[in-house]
Chain A
Amino acid sequence: MVRDGTKRQDTCRKRRRAEGIAMTALIYLVLVTGSGVVLTPFLWMLSTSLKSYDQVVTPRIVWLPRPVVWSNYARALEFIPFWRYLGNTALVTSTCVIGALSASALVAYGFAKLRAPGRDALFGVLLASMMLPGQVTMIPVFVLFQKLGWYNSLKALTIPAFLGGGAFNVFLLRQFYMTIPNELCDAAKIDGCSNFGILLRVVAPLSKPALTAVGVFIFVANWTDFFSPLIYLSDQERYTLALGLRLFQSLHSTEYSLLMAASIVFSLPILIIFFAAQRYFIEGVTLTGMKG
């Protein structure tokens, strides 16, 4: 009787283990298939960029280009001043990172650690402004920048970064600063540190991960931005990479191997940054999600 019971228990456990293994296998199957589906467009892009015209337009699915036409890349870059656009984009992006990061770090500090009448109401305004669609302010801002002589200049893309640093970034940093114990700030204050000194010596050094994450966010947002350059830059000399790629597309809309080569080259810098700063990047996204 007892033995019968243990036997039954045993088969039960075995069955449960088998079910667990089947379940795990199923999960991996879905994940691997999903990854395949997500990666396929990338591989197809790479493969197309190295194909000869004949191989691009064969009715069969050809993954391995034969011969490998490396010259597609040289040709793609020949038509477009890639290095100039890269320079413009790097200039805009680095200025925006410096401006928006320092501005949002400062503003967030005010909202997180300093008490003042009207603070909470202003923070509510800041939160509400995150939901405001940019289209509502876009036209008057455009007219204003035009009057200031910033049209067709990189100023229109960089100066706004210094003015507040983006509500979303402020919100994110403020949430992070809130987790820093006030006792640390008070101790620094007793040691004679001013409020700004506390930001520089206590809060900012403790917020390195959050600051890095926000920095990467600002970087990616500005590097890939299409809309602002589209409305503010008219001179091809001043184009950023996103506009340059669009220009390339309008000129060579049927030469797919060149288009793919250009798209890869234009995306490469941001992919490199992504892989280098991946940890901070995903941590940053994580930060936004938790407090959402």
Chain B
Amino acid sequence: MTWEIHCTSSGKADSRRRGLSRNAVREARDFYLCILPWLVGFSGLTLGPMLVSFYYSLCEYNVLQPPAWVGLANYVSIFTDDPLFWTALYNTAYYTLFSVPLGVAGSLALALLLNQGVRGVRMFRTIFYMPSIIPAVASSILWIWLFNPQYGLVNRALSVVGIKGPLWLADPVWSKPALILMGQWGVGGGMVIFLAGLQSVPRHLYDAAVVDGAGAWQQFRHVTLPMLSPTVFFSTVMGIIGSFQVFTQSYVMTQGGPLNSTLFYVLYLYREAFEFFHMGYASALAWILFVILVGFTALQLRLSRRWVYYEGDLRR
């Protein structure tokens, strides 16, 4: 009797264990079935092409003839014998240096204002967000017209206050500032993200700060800013990656001119690849861009330890 019970119960446990592992196997199988589209896409359209792109960067390749191995020649000539590469890198760095900090500060400021319990938050949010969804080609065409030196609204408005506006897109000194200014029109895109971040800051932290006698500025400095630092960090990292890839504006508005002053990195890469069919050279340019961006991101991750606050830190 005891033996029987023992037997059946052990049999049950056994089958349960076997069932569990069968379940686990089935779950693992289903997992791989689920992510199959991504696995195919990742290996076929990301990982594979990445390796091939690196191979191309060591070749001369014009699509019509098979790639011919040239070793590091593309990289050597980019760094030693290509003034346009340095121009494009300088223009892109200039653009990034101004547009990312301005964008982050501007969207944070707008979000802070909207978070003060004002009425009509939804309306303001919609208005500020609108420029972000206008197709880049359409907004580029609009800004060509706004920046028109003679009839454009920008210079007409400046002349009302007695300033003679520059030639903007036609002036090599003002063309980059013009594009940076235009980019700030879309500041509402980042604002929405900051607004979400602000709304997730727990109310009780402010209450505690008030009890401790903190004023508005101290609340901002010691509660809002630390709690928002992950959002600031995220926006900065993604902003730099995005602005290093700026393309459509300069392609549509200035074609890189005047005097190559808006020849941005990806526009230069695009020309090398799809206008001159220097696929090997363009691949080398792409890899240099990749290394620059990885470098920037790694650097920011390192620096972020000093200023980014994660909620998990509290518990540790």
Contact = CB atoms under 8 A, between A and B. Distances in A.
Interface in A121-152: 122, 125-126, 129, 131-144, 146
A86 interface: no
A119 interface: yes
Interface size band for B: 35 or more
Interface of B: 24, 26-28, 30-35, 37-42, 44-46, 48-50, 52-53, 56, 63, 110, 113-114, 116, 118, 124-131, 133-138, 141-143, 145-146, 148, 150-151, 153, 156-157, 160, 185, 188-189, 192-197, 200, 230-231, 234-235, 237, 241, 244-245, 247-248, 252, 266, 269-270, 273-274, 279, 282-283, 285-287, 289-290, 293, 297
A110 B36 CA distance: 10
Interface string A194-236: 1110010000000000000000000010011011000100000
A292 B230 contact: yes
Interface residues of A, number: 91
A73 interface: no
A146 to B, nearest CB: 7
A143 B61 CA distance: 11
A131 B37 contact: no
Nearest to B63: A143
A285 B129 CA distance: 11
A292 to B, nearest CB: 4
Contacts of B156: 59-61
Contacts of B113: 27, 30-31
B110 A34 contact: yes
A194 B35 CA distance: 16
Given A249-B141, A260-B141, A263-B138, 16 more contacts: A27-B116, A41-B153, A41-B185, A44-B145, A57-B151, A111-B35, A115-B24, A133-B286, A134-B245, A140-B49, A143-B279, A195-B30, A271-B133, A286-B192, A289-B193, A292-B231
B135 A223 contact: yes
14 contacts: A103-B37, A132-B50, A138-B286, A139-B273, A141-B49, A146-B63, A164-B38, A199-B34, A223-B135, A226-B135, A241-B135, A242-B135, A271-B133, A271-B134
Contact of B274 (A231, A263, A266): A231
Contacts of B44: 163
A116 interface: yes
A31 to B, nearest CB: 6
Contacts of B189: 285
Contacts of B136: 224, 226, 242
A140 B135 contact: no
A262 B145 CA distance: 13
| Majority DSSP secondary structure for residues of B touching A | helix
A292 B37 contact: no
B309 to A, nearest CB: 14
Nearest to A112: B34
A38 interface: yes
A289 B192 contact: yes
Contacts of A167: 38
Contacts of B160: 61
B37 A162 contact: yes
Given A263-B138, A289-B197, A282 B125 contact: yes
A40 B156 CA distance: 13
A114 B141 contact: no
Contacts of A263: 138, 141-142
Nearest to A42: B130
A225 to B, nearest CB: 9
Contact of A259 (B110, B133, B141): B141
A31 B124 CA distance: 7
Nearest to A134: B245
A11 B145 CA distance: 54
B197 A109 contact: no
Contacts of B188: 38
Nearest to B292: A133
